[in-house]
Amino acid sequence: MAGTAGTPGTPRVLRAMNDRAALDLLLEHGPLSRTRIGKLTGLSKPTASQLLARLEAAGLVLAGGTTEGRPGPGAQLYEVNPAAAYAAGLDVTPGRILAAVADVTGRTVGRYELPTPGRRPAVPVVQQVTDALDGAVKAAGLARGDLHRLVIGTPGAFDPGTGRLRYASHLPGWHSPALLDELAAALPMPVEYENDVNLAAVAEQRLGAARGHEDFVLLWNQEGLGAALVLGGRLHRGWTGGAGEVGFLPVPGAPLVRKVSRTGSGGFQELAGSQALAGLARESGVTDVPSGPYTEVAAALVARAARSDADEDPHRRLLQTYATRLATGLASLVSVLDPELVVLSGTSLTAGGEALRDLVRDELEELAASRPRLAVGDVTEHPVLRGALESALATTRDEVFDTSR
């Protein structure tokens, strides 16, 4: 029926489309004048003025400073109101929960880290989550009720049928079938759960090396070895959420691992995971292997090896062998998916930089028929947390910026 709210082509819907276009431009470019918004959207000056007045009245934009550097009075500049909405993200690992709050522009306004050591958590998971979230909310000068949405990133994935966390036996306390209901009861905002590597891919797609790519694979190597698959611009999660759990992949060069769900590991993890790097370094002749947490040791070894350019240097042999092992598993993914891009992420990969990327690319050309471009991830500071915030903000903006209602 003509004139019904929500009907395509009605004035209300067209105004809402123009409003969203203007808000997205302000997010992308920062403060803009009415004239500039009109040019970028194709709207007339009167229509652009009406649009900005409408958005300002709705609390979505603010009138800020004025343009400078031109003769005559400066033009009024407009920007997205940062306080229009807030979203939060959590990055959960066995050793800590990292929480952050961002305003609707994407600026992080509060962050908090809650240590969670030990195989048997002394504090229930629900309290861990709320304590971490409250720490970030307090750091932002906000209250829990100010948050529009929360995205929690964990290893593995919650089975949509049972609600249980799968593929993450190393994350203590998170496997109760009632956990999601308990968290929903404790948190006053909508909560989404996503695999940590998938969130790293979201960060790279929105902010990093995968911008503009509709089909890519992100290979992650840090606490565990995994992958994220983006097909047609969307994350492919699989039937149980387990798509991308390549650490369980049987590969040549590693013993065949059986009952992988019970052992929490598979052939590719044993061959090229971070925990294998110290032993691989010793086999390559490296005598000064550092001590410490295996993720830090692996990153340090790979970084040192990437700086070596002498063929007979044990560190160079380490890097070459590591690249061959990575390419062995990647070849299966590339052969099946034929992606346009492979992004190398996680500290045990980004530490190798372009030197490791080039070696993996050369090996992959020998092992797979297709030739994807390889890139080192650009989002190196807490990529899982950044992806959680980007995911939460995307949904928040769709809801808050919708002026058709």
What global pTM score does this model have? 0.91
Using CB atoms within 10 Å of the CB of residue 279, give its burial: 0 to 12 exposed, 13 to 18 middle, 19+ buried. Answer: exposed
Determine the pLDDT at residue 67: 66
363, 327 Cβ separation under 8 angstroms: yes
CA distance 19 to 60: 10
Determine the pLDDT at residue 83: 97
Determine the pLDDT at residue 74: 64
Determine the pLDDT at residue 65: 74
158, 164 Cβ separation under 8 angstroms: yes
CA distance 53 to 70: 25
Q: Strand runs (DSSP E) across 21-74, as ranges? A: 32-33, 61-66
Determine the pLDDT at residue 168: 85
Work out the widest C-alpha separation in the chain, in whole angstroms: 78
Mean pLDDT by 10 residues, the chain (405 residues): 51 90 94 92 92 94 74 77 97 95 98 87 89 98 96 93 86 91 95 97 96 95 95 92 91 87 84 96 95 95 93 92 97 94 98 97 94 96 97 97 89
Determine the pLDDT at residue 1: 39
Going by DSSP bridges, is the β-strand pair 341-345/216-221 parallel, antiparallel, or unpaired?
parallel
Determine the pLDDT at residue 75: 81
Sign of CA dihedral 294, 297, 300, 305: negative
